[in-house]
Structure 1
């Protein structure tokens, strides 16, 4: 029986869950598809039938990626926060954050080379401005440097406070974004709660999604081992996702078509607004529910996506280098291809990223 005053109940579970890898792989695949379109063609060149439904569906990716980040922290690290070796595990997470931070800065150069001056690139490296397509990696890097310090506190919090925390942080983030001046530092504001003039993922603005992932991760630890409890978890996630999507529809009526098009155009994405987040998080939860329902069988049938999910950083590096360094800079492929061709390139990059990860894994295993 679940009690609102109890701390997390965290039974042991393998840190490598195929369904989580598949969900992460779907998030990255949708991101690759979106980046291929916007990076090679530009959103303004996308036909209406491409904006809705194709480009619209890619709006699930960012929320799904951040939620799965929280789930992975819960499954792999929350049960270990009280162990004697927790400082070493925390250090491992932070070193991973430094690795991601390095690649974030390296890929910032790659992204900006075809379009910006040297001074613009230097400014971005020094946090005086921001890129666009690689900023989700910047969020991930900074989060890995500070969130590990909070995980033991999360494990001591009663359930009612863990359930309330995402709401409190979300409201606080909105209030700060709208009413606090951040000592006249737009960059600090963008990093913490986001700013309309910068395409960033704020640490506080997106923290509720990480917390949601932690809560789902706790539920996976408790429920995933038994088919009956897993089905209840799947039903709960799908139900909440459906409620979010219905909430989006209710807010959008009677101009639902215009609202869908606005979401496809990223209206309300940065800083996050309620309609966009209802749509994005609702779709993400339904995808996650389907992955958990399919389990190992779905992960096997969708093997390329699962492979991408096992090494998301390598997949992210691969597609940014392919789009901006190879295609845009070396082959001058900006607005050269039609929308269907760009979609084909995006799908090809998904398969190539999976192949690259599999090859590098094979190479490491046979080069020892």
Structure 2
């Protein structure tokens, strides 16, 4: 009982955990591949062998991205919540949220320019409708404006309540999405718990993944520094990921292939449904565990992905600009290339994004 009543114990790490950057970089790389396919070809044109297994694997990216968001908050900011410097750090997080909000709106224009009218774009900028590919930035922008205010509350919660919180919030989000009318305001509903008519990432709908990331981040702070405890953490994450994936398979019997195809087609992604989330979060936990197991050595071997993960916002901006401004608008390359060619473009774009991040870093270092 003493363990379940325990508040977070958060020693600071003395060095950056590059395994977290690697996990974030893998999430963005999978996202780039998915966006290249859907943004240049369209999912309906993808052959069956491309949906399963190739496009299916990219479904790990969204859950992994949000998990790492929670982990990064825990590792970089939770130990500072009780310090006199916390108000400055909280302001830093909120200013980051405003920066992400700016790029969300700027990239909304970039995404919509090749295919929508000016009025449609204005509606999206004013939260009267939503886009598709850049909506994840909208989630992060809003989250960074309010989550810093509740981190002190999380720090005061005993372990049993922190473990229950993701379940309670998840159940509440589903009940609100299905049974509450939000005063007839479908935009508000979409922003909070998601709506079937709008492609959004709801703050409450995705908060359980952020909370799970906070819990994993706490474990990383306590156990990552020592090889023995790190292996124990990796085993727990691998086990949890395996349980999620096995649960997905159990729910899918006897039509496992049809269930995999449904996930590849994004069925149950927005609003989130249990089968999709079991598959996506299970795969995300396995990838995260492998990144932590490989530690700095894996981060060095997979340096392009680690580079992407170390500067996620610029990586996101770069690949959206290339896909929608360069290919779709300037080159008019919508459905011009075959599926294998689009896969090649997506793979090349991952490397180009890493090169862009490296170039920006070199420029900053040599322009001081």
Coarse TM-score class (shorter-chain normalised): over 0.9
Deviations 1:303-348 (A, max 9, x none): 0000000000000000000000000000000000000000000011
Matches of 1:85 and 1:145, distance apart in 2: 18
Matches of 1:5 and 1:338, distance apart in 2: 57
Per the alignment, residue 136 of structure 1 pairs with 136
Matches of 1:124 and 1:289, distance apart in 2: 37
Per the alignment, residue 99 of structure 1 pairs with 99
Residue 190 of structure 2 aligns to a residue in which SS? Answer: helix
Matches of 1:265 and 1:326, distance apart in 2: 26
Segments of structure 2 that go 5 or more residues without pairing to the other structure are none
Aligned 1:17-56 pairs, distance under 5 A = 17-56=17-56
Q: CA deviation at 1:14?
A: 3.8
Q: How many residues align?
A: 368
TM-score normalised to structure 1 length: 0.99
Residue 6 of structure 2 aligns to a residue in which SS? Answer: coil
Segments of structure 1 that go 5 or more residues without pairing to the other structure are none
**Is 1:89 matched up with 2:112?**
no
Q: Is the 8 A contact 1:12 1:221 kept in 2?
A: yes
**Is 1:173 matched up with 2:173?**
yes
Q: Is the 8 A contact 1:13 1:221 kept in 2?
A: yes
Aligned 1:97-176 pairs, distance under 5 A = 97-176=97-176
Per the alignment, residue 240 of structure 1 pairs with 240
Per the alignment, residue 278 of structure 1 pairs with 278
Per the alignment, residue 258 of structure 1 pairs with 258
Q: Is the 8 A contact 1:15 1:75 kept in 2?
A: no
Q: CA deviation at 1:364?
A: 1.0
Per the alignment, residue 331 of structure 1 pairs with 331
Per the alignment, residue 201 of structure 1 pairs with 201
Q: CA deviation at 1:15?
A: 6.3
Deviations 1:19-56 (A, max 9, x none): 00000000000000000000000000000010000000
Matches of 1:47 and 1:153, distance apart in 2: 48
Matches of 2:30 and 2:16, distance apart in 1: 22
Residue 150 of structure 1 aligns to a residue in which SS? Answer: helix
Per the alignment, residue 211 of structure 2 pairs with 211
**Is 1:346 matched up with 2:346?**
yes
Matches of 2:16 and 2:26, distance apart in 1: 16
Aligned 1:39-78 pairs, distance under 5 A = 39-78=39-78
Deviations 1:95-123 (A, max 9, x none): 00000000000000000000100000000
Matches of 2:356 and 2:2, distance apart in 1: 44
Matches of 1:365 and 1:216, distance apart in 2: 33
Matches of 2:367 and 2:225, distance apart in 1: 36
Q: Is the 8 A contact 1:14 1:76 kept in 2?
A: no
Q: Is the 8 A contact 1:70 1:209 kept in 2?
A: yes
Q: Is the 8 A contact 1:15 1:76 kept in 2?
A: no
Regions of 4+ moved over 2 Å: none
Q: Is the 8 A contact 1:111 1:325 kept in 2?
A: yes
Matches of 2:14 and 2:69, distance apart in 1: 16
